Chain A
Amino acid sequence: MNRRKNLPSIIGTGLFSIISLIYVFPIVVVLFNSFKKKTFINIEPFTLPTENTFVGMENYANSINQYDFLQAVGWTLFITLGSVAVILLCTSMFAWYITRVHSPFTKMAYLLCVFSMVVPFQMVMFTLSLVTDRLGLGTPWGLIIIYLGFGAGLAVFMFCGFVKAIPLEVEEAALIDGCSPLRMFLSVVLPIMKPTYISVGILETMWIWNDFLLPYLTLDTNKYKTIAIVIQYMKGSYGRVDMGAIMAALIMAVIPVIIFYLSLQKHIIKGVAAGAVKG
């Protein structure tokens, strides 16, 4: 009896092990191509590096030295961390205010935020790049303001949903004790909303870290490049496309994402599910 029950489960494990291997196969192919001499990559992508084709870390060195890849990682990190921190603080305060205060303005602000969530980026991309250009916001610092504006919709929507569930009594007690609303928000509301901060933070991090088009159109790309922009630039430079450097760059782009994922897996899956159900 026991054996008969176990058999399908063993077959299932075996089957899914094979599927999992196929699933990671594309990344593994890129990984071993990143150690091959660049001229061999396009000809024979599916063979392991041999003595003839192995070049050690040369591709990695090329992509770091010739294309300033690490600088791009730095700017991407700066833009992502800066924008997410600003988005979390500002939109949670905004969401709390428009939920607690009832006026035509707060009602309209909420509806506008929900509306902005469904507008595809193509609708505003051309004019947004004109506006950022005019205001001189084409720097990593300026981009933080743009992300706060364009990313506000989802964040405000998710925070509003949570604020509605906080019992008013807690806040009122603090205000009667003489707390200013600002201090009350920081010391009472903010700690209660910690799970929502994590969910929103993860969704915004994934979006901004991987975003290509918004920074490509608004940043001064001669001075500042993000990871996605550098990779697109490496591939788009006509004539000499250095496949080796691209493979190395792809691996260096994937590694931080995998580390981030494995260390925060539970929160990420929870956050993603929450965002999907609400979005």
Chain B
Amino acid sequence: MEKGIRRYAPFFVIPTFTAFIIGFIVPFLMGLWLSFCKFTTVKDAVFVGLSNYQKAVTDPIFLHAFWYTALFALVSFLTINVLAFVIALALTQKMRGTNLFRTIFFMPNLIGGIVLGYIWQLIFNGILARFGAALALSEKYGFWGLVILVAWQQIGYMMIIYIAGLQSIPDALNEAAAIDGASDWQKLWKITIPMMMPAITICTFLTVVNSFKLFDQNLSLTAGEPAQLSELLALNIFNTFYGRVGWEGVGQAKAVLFFVLVVGIGLIQLRITHSKEVQQ
């Protein structure tokens, strides 16, 4: 069977593979190479060794963006997951209107980041104006604004995953515990949460990776104001490329570091998921 298929390889392979080379492989390899070069266009690229990386890790704004992003990832991970879990628990109880509520909570997830950012900019600036403030005045406003925005956007998504997890817990477990006299609180901690660990792992990494990669919402909500202090990593990299002439190589070096960071988080997730599978 394989031989017959192989003769048709051009039809099956060429379109996707060509596009994959143009859209991914070439830009990726070029990006790796250019992170060791100084350039403004590719033609004038000169190899400069690790100096771009040195400039990247000593750039105070980049370091600020890293810690700002890490803190943002931590806070938004906690907010989103706790709220999504509680909502999922509530919406799997017997109650009128659960389907309608699920529909509403999931909806913001489909709206694009740029649109979301400008919707919330209007709301936040409207509220802050009453206290004589504005989003662009302090990095703290930008931080909490962004936390609320991504919570609003992602709670519905995580809620769907948690609901699917809750529905897969066999009723027999809870019934047996109830017969043994377990309270609702004990059932939550001894049955529901342990059984939900796979879903919790997925949601944890989804929210953390989403926070690290966040760009559109950051650009539209504050654009880094004031003075680049509310910049997350992705926006900082973008501004290094397109906002500072002569820093293109440093921007690419930052992008490589960013890539390593995101892959590192992914590898940790893989390891945790695998170790769980062995235990089960």
Contacts and interface: CB of A to CB of B under 8 A. Distances in A.
Interface of A: 9-10, 12-13, 16-17, 19-20, 23-24, 26-27, 29-30, 33, 41-42, 45-46, 86, 90-91, 93-94, 96-98, 100-102, 109, 112-113, 116, 118-128, 130-131, 135, 137, 145-150, 152-153, 156, 168, 171-172, 175, 180-182, 185, 206, 209-213, 227-228, 231-232, 235, 246-247, 250, 253-254, 257-258, 260-262, 265, 268-269, 272-273, 276-277, 279
Contacts of B4: 175, 181
Contacts of B20: 112-113, 116, 148-149, 152
Interface in B70-114: 90-91, 93-97, 100-101, 103-114
Interface residues of B, number: 87
B202 A250 contact: no
Contacts of A152: 16, 19-20, 23-24
B113 A210 contact: yes
B252 interface: yes
Nearest to B108: A23
A93 B19 contact: no
Contacts of B114: 210, 212, 228, 231-232
Nearest to B262: A120
B259 interface: yes
A148 B160 contact: no
A253 B97 contact: no
Interface of B: 1-2, 4-9, 11-13, 15-28, 30-31, 34, 41-42, 90-91, 93-97, 100-101, 103-115, 118-120, 122-123, 125-126, 129, 152, 157, 160-161, 164, 202, 206, 212-213, 215-216, 219-220, 234, 237-238, 241, 248, 251-252, 255-256, 258-259, 262-263, 266
A126 B251 contact: yes
Contacts of B2: 100-102
The 4 lowest CB-CB distance pairs between A and B, nearest first, are A149-B23, A210-B112, A45-B126, A149-B19
Nearest to A29: B123
Given A20-B101, A254-B111, A12 B255 contact: no
B17 A120 contact: no
Contact of A123 (B1, B28, B94): B28
A94 B16 contact: yes
B168 to A, nearest CB: 12
A26 B23 contact: no
Given A45-B125, A145-B19, 18 more contacts: A13-B95, A13-B97, A16-B97, A24-B104, A42-B129, A46-B126, A123-B259, A124-B28, A130-B42, A148-B19, A149-B24, A150-B24, A152-B16, A180-B8, A213-B215, A235-B220, A268-B110, A277-B161
B31 A17 contact: no
A24 B28 CA distance: 41
Interface centre among A27, A124, A209, A268 (most CB of B within 10 A): A124
Given A13-B95, A45-B126, A269-B160, A148 B237 contact: no
A231 B118 contact: yes
Contacts of B106: 261, 269
B110 A123 contact: no
B126 A9 contact: no
Contact of A172 (B1, B26, B28, B157): B1
